[in-house]
Amino acid sequence: MKPYPFTAVVGLPDLRLALVLSSISPAVGGVLVRGEKGTAKSTMVRALAGLLPGVDVVDGCRFSCDPAAPDPLCPDGPHEGAKSHRRPAKLVELPVGAAEDRVIGSLHLERALAEGVTDFQPGLLAAAHRGLLYVDEVNLLHDHLVDTLLDAAAMGRATVEREGVSVSHAARFVLIGTMNPEEGELRPQLLDRFGLTVEVASSRDPEQRVEVVRRRLAYEADPDAFAAQYADEDARLAADIEAAQRLLPAVKLPDEALRQIAEVCASFEVDGMRADIVTARTAVAHAAWAGRDEVTTDDVRVAARLALPHRRRRNPFDAPGISEEQLEQALQDAQPDPGPEDDGPGSGSTPPEAPEPPQSSENAPQGEPKQSGGQQKTVGAGETFKARVFRVKGMGEGERGRRSRAITDSGRTIGVQPPSVHEGRPHLVATVKAAAPHQKARGRAGAGLKLRPEDVRYALREGREGNLVLFCVDASGSMGAKARMREVKSAVLSLLLDAYQRRDKVGLVTFRGAAAELALPPTISVDAAASRLDGLPTGGRTPLAEGLLEAARVLRVEEIRDPRRRPLLVVVTDGRATSGPDAVARAQAAAGLLAGVTTIVMDCESGKMRLGLAADLAAHLGAEHVPLADVAAESLAAAVRARTGKAA
């Protein structure tokens, strides 16, 4: 069945342009596509491969070497005098659950030991060389795989190190990732490694939505006939891309355009110099796409809109996008006397429309509480800070992250897996030791070892896992003092940022009045948790027992759904229990249901006369008791000691 045609996709001009520019110049660094589900992200990416020019490859080379400039380090080389053929450009899809060896390739351990032969089995990076590598839901990919992909995309090579043997091969590809922000963000340092980013959303225009449905139904009814309708249009676009690729080396980047790029990047206060380099490469690609041999202000403007939005985000709570007014002002500051060519878009090209950035909760006014009727009120958070690191007890085997100790497939080697376990990387020394006593009986001849599958031992490695961090927040009247609630929200936001950086899943339970509520089911989207926290109303009595019971219920359900994530419960309260009969006794009984769960009680009690109720609750929970002021990584007392040099 023919893929859906690229030119048949309705709308999405920003995405269309970003994909085309990355195809013209792979040095741009690929595209990250962010958007809600069902917006044709994957459809357009998969259709792009059909537009790319074919590539000449060496016959029999598993690494798609270019016969005109073969890789001198190619594991299948040397290629001097080898025959070649032309094949279509490839689109290689990387599944979210792919193992590391599947991505970067692996060495055949038995042949290496027995025959002394470095038999490298290429992975997906090799398959994607000189083509496209597509990662759907890239935000759900394990961090170490994302690092591997982005390093290869930036360096143009992939290197495999296994037990003292090193293999390197060319890996130049256009990296394209798609993601739904509701399912969690990429870390800022990973965002920065994508060249361009595009925000997509479904159209609200009824006529456009009708056309989307009409075309999709027509494609499903007869894919070949539907593709034939757009074959000529796709062919024209493919020819234009190939022409732009030929023109690209001749495009000049004048000093005036470089000054504009520097002014724009400095204006948006992006970190490092990668933004300047990517913007310059994108501007050159856009000029080639428009048929020009010199970069103009229009090219810089388009490039900045695609290359900078994700680089100005400091944390996951910042809104994406850039200010159009600020962009235009920076362009004017760099070029106070624009020429006629800078009065607007040139050569028929249309810069992509920049969406209005949504209002961020962190940028919203937070000085005064918002009244929400009755005795409820909402108080904004204060400034975030570097929070203490709280870890789950013991060692798990959960999802890869950065919080708690775990047995993983990477990290430091702490032992050897038993022969019955065939997981992870082979352990060379242990394998040799297991095979050595049997060599005489196996009739070994020569220097090589005779190995059998039962000889192979696998390394036992210790790394870090991401956990489920469930916040159980007291929103009762006793917590409703404006200053106290602002401090509480600031502390929880700081812990949310920590959870984001450590690849944790987060959930939010709140309790006030007579009941508890699951305000946010467990998710990897910490910005969703921050949004719910920001709008959290306070008031009423304190149903502490109901809050703990709801937390216990959520943890039970989540253990069934996601058993690999161990829970860390953070109870944020002053310890009071005032709702319902026998409130204190019921709270203590509810605490018993959470036995064995690693729990932190964040004590929010303030004032000179303190009852110590949160400390009592911590004792019943078997939890660590942490005063609100000590949630920061450096407590006030420690900071004073550091500044004065006084001993504790």
**CATH number for 175:** 3.40.50.300
Neighbours of 242 (CB within 10 A): 16
Q: Is residue 236 part of a domain?
A: no
Average pLDDT, the chain: 81
My answer on whether 586 and 510 are in the same domain is yes
Catalytic residues: 274
Which range has highest mean pLDDT (257-266, 320-329, 425-434)? Answer: 257-266
Report whether 537 contacts 378 (CB < 8 A): yes
Tell me the pLDDT tens digit for each residue of 85-128. Answer: 998 888 898 887 777 778 888 776 666 666 656 677 888 998 98
My answer on whether 343 and 441 are in the same domain is no
Residue 640 has pLDDT above 60, yes or no: no
Q: Is residue 81 part of a domain?
A: no
pLDDT category of residue 473 using cuts at 50, 70 and 90: very high
Q: What is the mean pLDDT of residues 446-456?
A: 76
Q: What is the mean pLDDT of residues 323-329?
A: 80
Within 13 Å of residue 199, how many CA atoms lie on the same side as its CB? 16
Tell me the pLDDT tens digit for each residue of 487-506. Answer: 888 888 888 888 877 888 89
Q: Which residues contact 375 (CB under 8 A, 6 or more apart)?
A: 477, 539, 540
Residue 643 has pLDDT above 50, yes or no: no
- Pairing label, strands 370-371, 377-378: antiparallel
Report whether 19 contacts 108 (CB < 8 A): no
Residue 342 has pLDDT above 50, yes or no: no
Residue 314 has pLDDT above 80, yes or no: no
Residue 174 has pLDDT above 80, yes or no: yes
- Which residue in this structure is represented by tokens 């019921």? 586
Residue 80 has pLDDT above 60, yes or no: yes
pLDDT value, residue 351: 42
Q: What is the mean pLDDT of residues 432-460?
A: 78
Q: Is residue 363 part of a domain?
A: no
Q: Is residue 66 part of a domain?
A: no
pLDDT category of residue 613 using cuts at 50, 70 and 90: very high
Q: Is 637 left (phi over 0), alpha (psi -120 to 50) or beta?
A: alpha
Tell me the pLDDT tens digit for each residue of 220-252. Answer: 999 999 999 999 999 999 999 999 999 999 999
Peptide bond into 78 cis (omega under 30): yes
Q: Which residue has the higher pLDDT, 615 or 477?
A: 615
pLDDT value, residue 482: 61
Residue 519 has pLDDT above 80, yes or no: yes
Tally of helices (H runs) and strands (E runs) in the chain: 21, 23
**Listed range (100-104, 147-151, 276-280, 296-300) with the worst mean pLDDT:** 147-151
My answer on whether 449 and 316 are in the same domain is no
Q: Is residue 58 part of a domain?
A: no
Report whether 143 contacts 503 (CB < 8 A): yes
Q: Is residue 232 part of a domain?
A: no
Report whether 81 contacts 90 (CB < 8 A): no
My answer on whether 345 and 461 are in the same domain is no
Q: What is the mean pLDDT of residues 461-477?
A: 88
Q: Is residue 239 part of a domain?
A: no
pLDDT value, residue 361: 35
Q: Is residue 362 part of a domain?
A: no
My answer on whether 616 and 580 are in the same domain is yes
CATH of the domain at 599: 3.40.50.410
Domain boundary among 447, 465, 483: 465
Residue 356 has pLDDT above 80, yes or no: no
3-state secondary structure of 253: coil
Separation between Cα atoms, residue 449 and residue 112, nearest integer Å: 10
Looking at the structure of the chain, the number of domains it has is 4
My answer on whether 324 and 447 are in the same domain is no
pLDDT value, residue 410: 65
Tell me the pLDDT tens digit for each residue of 37-78. Answer: 778 888 888 888 888 888 899 998 998 898 988 888 888 888
Residue 354 has pLDDT above 70, yes or no: no
Q: Which residue has the higher pLDDT, 1 or 440?
A: 440
pLDDT value, residue 187: 66
My answer on whether 166 and 282 are in the same domain is no
Residue 212 has pLDDT above 80, yes or no: yes
What is the C-alpha end-to-end distance of the chain, expressed in Å? 73
- Pairing label, strands 400-408, 370-371: unpaired
My answer on whether 377 and 425 are in the same domain is no
Tell me the residue range of the domain where 486 lies: 370-392+467-639
Report whether 544 contacts 577 (CB < 8 A): yes
My answer on whether 190 and 165 are in the same domain is yes
Tell me the pLDDT tens digit for each residue of 545-601. Answer: 999 999 999 999 999 888 889 999 999 999 999 998 999 999 999 999 999 999 999
Tell me the pLDDT tens digit for each residue of 359-389. Answer: 333 333 333 333 333 455 565 566 777 888 8
Tell me the pLDDT tens digit for each residue of 564-574. Answer: 899 999 999 99
- Which residue in this structure is represented by tokens 């352990």? 427
My answer on whether 522 and 387 are in the same domain is yes
Residue 32 pairs with which residues in a beta bridge?
Answer: 177, 197
My answer on whether 544 and 434 are in the same domain is no
Angle at 339 between CA 336 and CA 341, to 5 degrees: 130
524 DSSP 8-state letter: S
pLDDT value, residue 317: 61
Q: What is the mean pLDDT of residues 200-214?
A: 87
Separation between Cα atoms, residue 115 and residue 170, nearest integer Å: 26
My answer on whether 536 and 620 are in the same domain is yes
pTM of the model: 0.67
